[in-house]
Structure 1
Amino acid sequence: MDSDLDRVDIAIAERLQRDGRLSNTRLAEQVALSEASCWRRQKRLEERGLIEGYQAILNRRKLGLGVMAFVQISCHEHSEEVTAQFERIIQAAPQVLSCHNTTGEADYLLQVVARDLDSYSRFVEKVLRTLPGVSSIRSNLSLRELKTDNRLPVSELVSL
């Protein structure tokens, strides 16, 4: 944790994480600061990279993205050049929501969305199977989403 963060910084981050559209006036009220002081603290958190940005959370199913897959990719080649090419392709693929270089059986774990199984199959054929250095691809399809949340447990960092 950033050692310069205090309870007020954590409270600001936690509230903005819950509602990124929260006005400075309401935020200042909730954390018991003047509006000017609250604004300065929020800007400092942004400048230091603790707050990376703001976005709307969209409902993937209502947008027609009915398939969520978790894909394990193992590689037989780990050269710097092949790895860089692999990462460029993955980063450019809008269907890939997240990609993690992992320990264990697989080298990478991807979270992928698609309209339907046919669309997912095309993504596997045209993108994943063409990735350099890949030796195996294992897909696990989500049958039911029990929890999805991008909010970090910042209130656990400092008891408020």
Structure 2
Amino acid sequence: MINLDRIDRHMLMILQKEGRLSTADLSERVGLSPSPCARRLKRMEDEGLIENFQVNLNKKKAGITLTFFVEVNLNDHQAESIAKFESALSHFEEVVNAHVVSGGYDYLLEVVSQDLESYEAFTRKLHNITSLKDIQTHLSVRQVIEKSPLPVYI
């Protein structure tokens, strides 16, 4: 577990919302001079708490108009079948999140698409995975929470 103080947590909350801030701007916002702020930031990156910095695109402006949640069941739960399925998933750009879940199905996928035809093409590719048993699709009608920074508990 990584030991963080109040300033570290504040830095993380700010960066999750505004990852493009310069170190000078970040240091000003948290009440530190730039050098100690940069050292803290580097430490959190080195410890793996900060994985990367990325840009969040506007889905509509990027041509993504539909989001689906896809429940997936596999034929069996042998290590080879699981590995083949997960490897195949990693090659589908439409899959933006994938979770192993408990309950009535094995995986829950979040899939984005520009239209229904593109989603249908994706499902055809998905059904080509031999370890796949069946899928159940749910269309997201409206996203209630667009983005939210992760709470920092440590």
TM normalised by structure 2 equals: 0.95
Q: Which residue of 2 aligns with 1:136?
A: 134
Read off the aligned partner of 1:21 and give its amino acid letter. Answer: R
* TM-score under structure 1 length normalisation: 0.91
Q: CA deviation at 1:139?
A: 0.3
User: Residue 151 of structure 2 corresponds to which residue in structure 1?
Assistant: 153
Give CA-to-partner distance per residue, 1:58-101, whole Å, 9 cap, x none: 01111111110000001121111111111111011110000000
Aligned-residue sequence identity (percent) comes to: 39
Name 1:66's counterpart in structure 2.
Answer: 65
Question: Could you tell me how far 1:153 is from its partner in structure 2?
Answer: 1.9
2:81 alignment partner AA: V
State yes or no: 1:32 paired with 2:31.
Answer: yes
Provide the rounded CA distance (Å) in 1 between the counterparts of 2:142 and 2:13.
28
Q: Give the Å deviation of 1:3.
A: 4.4
List runs of 5+ in structure 1 lacking aligned partners: none
Which residue type is aligned with residue 147 of structure 1? I
The CA deviation string for residues 11-56 of structure 1, in whole angstroms up to 9 with x for no partner, is: 1111111100111111111111111000000000011111111111
> Per-residue CA shift, 1:110-146, capped at 9, x if unaligned?
00011100110010012x1112322210000111122
Give 5+ residue unaligned stretches, structure 2: none
Alignment partners' CA distance in 1, 2:89 and 2:8: 34
Query: Which stretch of the first structure deviates more once superposed, 102-111 or 130-139?
Result: 130-139
4+ residue runs over 2 A deviation:
none
- Number of aligned residues: 154
Counterpart amino acid of residue 97 in structure 1: V
How many angstroms apart in 1 are the aligned matches of 2:66 and 2:25? 38
Q: CA RMSD in A?
A: 1.3
